[in-house]
Amino acid sequence: MSTEAQALPLAGLRVVEFTHMVMGPTCGMILADLGAEVIKVEPLAGDNTRRLLGSGAGFFGLFNRNKKSLAVDVKDPRGREIVLKLVAGADVFSENFKGGTMDRLGFGHEALSRLNPRLVYVSHKGFLPGPYEHRTALDEVVQMMGGLAYMTGPEGRPLRAGASVNDIMGGMFGAIGALAALAAREKTGRGQEVQSALFENNVFLVAQHMMQFAVTGHAAAPMPSRISAWALYDVFTVLGGEQIFLAAVSDGQWAAMCKEFGFDDLKADARLASNNARVQAREWLLPLLRERFAGHPAAELAARFERVGLPYAPITRPQDLFDDPHLAATGGLAPVTLPADASGAGSPVDTRVALLPLTLDGERLPLRTSPPALGEHTESLLRGLGYSAGEIAQLREDAVVSGTPDKQPR
């Protein structure tokens, strides 16, 4: 283990994961970024996520960095034995397959906890146990049934959020649960089962709107037609057709904006004396502000809003973030090489990847290794379990395991 890895908070912990897509891999990515050794168990053909196109093309490259890949046929008794040997010395087991899959393979919670009573077992599912648990869930499914798509789209046009919010947050809560269970193990000496679910995660996301109804008695309107809590809090189309988000969310910010742009008439208007009064005046106030801002370039508005401390934002596309000066200056993007079998290009791809959005002692958590090629660590892991070179060769010949020969860490 490198000195850099030894310094991380979860150094020395071993995680075995049976995961695919986004939710489960996110959990493992977080634990890996924090320093755990995360072993991704893949079928001989590889995680299907390696081959996704379109909106799924970035899944494997993002959510599987800092991990090791073991390619093994777990339907073969010898393959199952390899996994069980890994689990016997592991701290965490993480999975996100359909209910019953792990039990059929002999890797259910009950079986693995008998093998290793200290094991923390993390399951990522569509629903926590209850009437819905038999259903097949996707991020989009729970967004529709959990109120998020209703809140995102305009009236009558439910729209999923533009990222895998429940998958990613569901994996994040799985990681939080794993950390809590590991802390509890320090007191009890025993592991426990942790469950995280897409639907319940989505409910947590919209809970603020549930509370709004409880407090006011009025249903929350979808975001495009909501009654804003602030008068100036919107996207403006300005000179040359550019767009920019501008906001003033306090009386002090309103006064600063009026002073900066010479809106003395608005500052003196008694109908606009408080935030709540300005909200009630939005119907005539916003068109007036749109007219006054329309002749300014977006860059000028951004500079003037920043100068006086007002919230603003350019309308940015995801690919534009590769050139974001703040991310460049703060090390928020790390160089990464995507393996040929997961790049979609048939050859390795050099790019940059977003790191976890936190610092520890002022430092970002590093990218130690790029996402692994399929079976890249099979041989070294088998040697670590005590398999001889001859035994490994036989397992390869019998198609129980696969992977590239050992090589220096990337």
User: Running DSSP on this structure, what letter comes out for residue 261?
Assistant: H
**Do the beta carbons of residue 257 and residue 304 sit within 8 Å?**
no
Q: Which of these, 321, 262, 354, 307, lies nearest to 61 by C-alpha position?
A: 354
CA–CA–CA angle 342, 35, 337 (5° rounding): 25
User: Running DSSP on this structure, what letter comes out for residue 282?
Assistant: H
Helices (H), 314-377: 325-330
Q: Which of these, 72, 205, 51, lies nearest to 139 by C-alpha position?
A: 205
pLDDT at 307: 97
CA distances from 242 to 19, 96, 299, 315 (A): 42, 43, 9, 9
DSSP H or E segment with residue 177:
helix 165-188
Signed CA dihedral, 180, 184, 186, 189: sign only: negative
Give the 3-state secondary structure percentages of the chain, helix then strand then coil, rounded to 5: 45, 15, 40
77-136: per-residue pLDDT in tens?
Answer: 999 999 999 999 999 999 999 999 999 999 999 999 999 999 999 999 999 999 999 999
pLDDT at 1: 58
pLDDT at 409: 44
For the chain, residues with pLDDT lower than 70 are 1-5, 405-410
CA dist., res. 45 & res. 285, Å (int): 60
**Residue 366 φ/ψ, nearest 5 degrees:** -80, 155
166-199: per-residue pLDDT in tens?
Answer: 999 999 999 999 999 999 999 999 999 999 999 9
pLDDT at 404: 73
User: Running DSSP on this structure, what letter comes out for residue 216?
Assistant: H
CA dist., res. 158 & res. 160, Å (int): 7
Q: What is the residue-wise DSSP string for 96-141?
A: -SPTTHHHHHT-SHHHHHHH-TT-EEEEEESS-SSTTTTS---HHH
Domains of the chain: 3-205+354-402 (3.40.50.10540), 228-314 (3.30.1540.10)
């090791």: which residue's tokens? 68
Spell out the residues 6+ positions from residue 161 whose beta carbon is closer than 8 angstroms to its own.
143, 148, 149, 152
pLDDT at 406: 59
**pTM to 2 decimal places:** 0.93
